[in-house]
Amino acid sequence: MKKLLSLLLAAVMLMCFTACGNKDTSDDKDSERKRATAGQDTTTSTTQQSDEVVLDTGLLTALDKSYAKSNKANVVYDSEVFMNLEASSSDTIDIACVGDSITYGTIASDPETYSYPTQLQGMLNKRYGSNKFKVTNYGHEGAYIADFERSNASTLRYCNTNEYIQLRKDKPDVVIMMLGTNDIGYISDGESCKELQEAYSDLIGDIKSLKSNPVVFVCTPLVRVTAYSSYLALDALNNAIIGAANEQGVYVIDTYNITKEYFEAELYETDGLNPNDAGYKYLAETVMNAICDGLTQYQEKTVAETSKYVVYVDSSKGTYDSVGATADKPTSSLARAIDLCRGGGTIVVSGPITPATTRLNIVRTFIAPENEYKITVTSVDPYDGTDYRSTNNARIFMSASMYLNGDFEFTNVTFDYVASATKIACNYNNVTFGSGVSCTVSNGDYSVLIYGHDVVSKWQTDDILSCKEDCTLTVNSGTFTYLRGGNYRAYSAKQSSYTYGTVKKGATVNIIVNDGKFTKSDGTSNFSGASGTLSSAIGQNGMESGATVNLTVNGGTFAGSIFGIPRMNPYPSSGAPTVAGDINITVNGGVISGSGIQYLQTYKGAKNPKTTGAYSLTINGGTFPASSTRIFDATGCSNATFTLIDSMATLANWSNITGFKNR
């Protein structure tokens, strides 16, 4: 399910961020939402591309003006509150905007002109007249809510800032609060969340106590794409903030959820945290819609299928506002292209792009906007067969890790790695690296391919980290350091508070390797004892009884060994997870150059999982280069079977085929 503001994104961008969602441009022949109607495949299409087709996909549906509780807020806001305030006084009504750099207007070309409070003032003037409301910006860059024993609390904790001192003197009639972004790195557990909630509740209570008896709105902080761990912690932060608002009985504007999908794409145009001029206008409209019309809640709607969309992306000559209808008018951002194709479609990388580096040249992780339907990413034009890799140096520069949040197929596209230790995390979506995927290294090394989740935050719950539905990863080409078949955790000898996650009962995970390479750029296997990082069927996660993981190797080259279960460290104090599901590894072809195939990666000091599931290893082909350490070992599994076809009977003479009940 996609949320409503995703449906409004195109309209907002194309109307230069005018009032939110009230105009249906589906009949506007001059609209830039002109899209080709064919060519979702990467093969050459005989259908002619049209610049005059406007697709009616439902993306321009107007916002439903319903009054409802906002997220978990206890107090239902009705716009009658604001209308009564406006009607009851002949004096100017003072509105105070409390916050951090996002309220101040950092990154705006001119904060005094383009900050959201300034733009909110203009919108209120247009609606109610220039003398009815006065909006004052009390934002302080870097401000935060809770102390957390920070050394700069005397100047940056909001209750200590000059802006807050002035606000108390001014005694506004309405206060709009948006704080918490700068606290996110300090909420490490339930206790810190509680401390933050208490501190925010005290601040709200102090504002409520003003003699002006202000109407108070608390806005949930905007999404941020500065780091994956921060992105994951936002729900915990928002819950604490909503809890504080509930304690004080004030109104909540769910700005986080209302604007999330918009800013997931737009923030790559700035620093990953603060909006630009257009983004601040969008935020101002969100606040305006909330206080004036009662639109405080995010309305969930289904994204229409748009599988025939073709969007061109090229950072060298594109613009963010473009819908990428042609290679001559591409959009500049992969995040923007994915946002346009949330309903599915084809993204044509027609020039060089660096998804994880923002327009301000700041390197962030790349967190793909969530897509409902499969997106194909290619550099071969589906209309005329132009290969932009050769004509326009089209490639995806990997400056940091990439996190996918939907089904993807990459085909005829180049990944160029310009950093070390990058990861491509598929998050248990259906992902295919099809034919023609090439990987080059300009600086650093190839990415780790993670089929499950990258475990980087204690806010990743078991539900988030678990695989609950059937899914398939297919690798037909490309080069990666290694393949982690499930969740990935950085090596540590210490205990970890992070959850493992599991493959749930009834879920089947299929990993099919038809070609491609798994190696470091120097050709080695990247194995170093306890912290060895080699390919595996499952990841560092559990499996419930009734779950199945199938790893099928039909081709490709593995510089290292293959494991059914990789190392489980770091492990929580409760111990390593239970692997009760069935793991099946079948080798029909390919080259496996490591020590062999083992059920369980073990080493001195390892804390191994409890294994109760079955293990099946079938060798129907493949090449195992000569080595004195080749191993087919099922140690650790009490129900393991080994199958070998006659044509490979020489393997039966190996002395290191151990642990199988039929050997």
> Domain ranges in the chain?
80-293, 467-663
Q: Give the pLDDT of residue 23.
A: 34
Q: What local confidence, expressed as pLDDT, does residue 532 receive?
A: 67
Binning pLDDT at 50, 70 and 90, where does residue 34 land? very low
Tens digit of pLDDT for each residue in 149-171?
Answer: 999 999 999 999 999 999 999 99
pTM score of the predicted model:
0.88
- pLDDT tens track for 598-609: 999 887 777 789
β-partners of residue 138 are 98
Q: What is the pLDDT averaged over residues 487-508?
A: 90
- Give residue-wise pLDDT tens across range 130-145: 889 999 999 999 999 9
Q: What is the mean pLDDT of residues 18-23?
A: 34
Bridge partners for 617 per DSSP? 585, 642
Q: Which residue has the tokens 């923030």?
A: 267
Top mean pLDDT of 21-30, 63-72, 498-507 is at: 498-507
Mean pLDDT (whole number) for 167-190: 96
pLDDT surpasses 70 at 41 = no
Nearest CA-CA partner of 12 in 336, 234, 422, 426 = 336
Percent of the chain with pLDDT over 90: 69
Q: Nearest-CA neighbor of 350 among 376, 382, 327, 319? A: 327
Q: Kindly tell me if the per-residue pLDDT of 60 is higher than 60.
A: no
Q: What is the DSSP string of 464-521?
A: HHSB-S-EEEEESS-EES-EESS-B----SS---S---EEPTT-EEEEEESS-EE--T
Mean pLDDT of 93-107: 97
CA–CA dist 495, 497 (Å, integer): 7
533's tokens: 């990082």
**CA atoms within 13 Å, Cβ hemisphere of 353:** 32
Q: Lowest-confidence range among 328-332, 382-386, 566-570? A: 566-570
- CA 579 to CA 25: how far, in whole Å? 53
* Residue 433 CA, distance from chain mean position: 19
Say if residue 219's pLDDT is above 60: yes
**pLDDT reported for residue 573:** 72
Is pLDDT at 204 greater than 60 in this prediction? yes
Please give the pLDDT value at position 430: 98
Tracing tokens 């025939």 back to the chain, one arrives at: 308
Checking if the pLDDT of 565 tops 80, the result is: yes
- Using CA atoms in the order 283, 287, 288, 289, what is the torsion angle rounded to 10 degrees? 100
> What span, in angstroms and rounded, lies between the C-alpha atoms of 663 and 658?
7
Whether the predicted pLDDT of 579 surpasses 70: yes
pLDDT over threshold 90, residue 388: yes
Considering 58-72, 474-488, 556-570, the range whose residues carry the highest mean pLDDT is 474-488
Q: Is the pLDDT of residue 2 over 60?
A: no
Instruction: Name which residue leads in pLDDT, 278 or 64.
Output: 278
Distance CA 356, CA 343 (A): 22
Phi and psi at residue 177, to the nearest 5°: -110, 135
Asked which of 69-83, 323-337, 423-437, 452-466 is least confident by mean pLDDT, the reply is: 69-83
Mean pLDDT of the chain: 86
Q: Supply the pLDDT for residue 298.
A: 79
* CB-CB contact of 551 with 499 (8 Å): no
Arithmetic mean of pLDDT, 363-387: 96
Taking each continuous run of H as one helix and of E as one strand, the counts in the chain are 14, 40
Query: Does the pLDDT of residue 11 top 70, yes or no?
Result: no
User: DSSP 3-state assignment of 182?
Assistant: helix
**Residue 583 corresponds to which tokens in the numbers above?**
């793991």
CATH numeric code, 80-293: 3.40.50.1110
CA atoms within 13 A on the CB side of 459: 21
Q: What is the mean pLDDT of residues 292-315?
A: 87
Residue 319 CA, distance from chain mean position: 22
Report residue 203: phi and psi, to 5°: -65, -45
pLDDT score for 171:
96
Q: Which of 224-228, 305-309, 435-439, 460-464 has the highest mean pLDDT?
A: 435-439
Whether residue 341 contacts residue 375, with contact meaning beta carbons closer than 8 Å, is answered with: yes
Sign of CA dihedral 465, 466, 471, 473: positive
Q: What residues does 503 pair with on adjacent strands?
A: 467, 543
Average pLDDT over residues 70-82: 76
Question: Is 4 a residue whose pLDDT tops 60?
Answer: no
The helix/strand/coil state of 35 is coil
Q: Can you give the pLDDT at residue 663? A: 61
* Burial track 346-360 (b if 16+ CB lie within 10 A, e otherwise): bbbbbbbbbbbbbbe
Structure tokens at 284: 């101002």
The two three-digit tokens of residue 217, written as one number:
């709105």
Per-residue confidence at 645, pLDDT binned at 50, 70, 90?
confident
Report whether 429 contacts 393 (CB < 8 A).
no
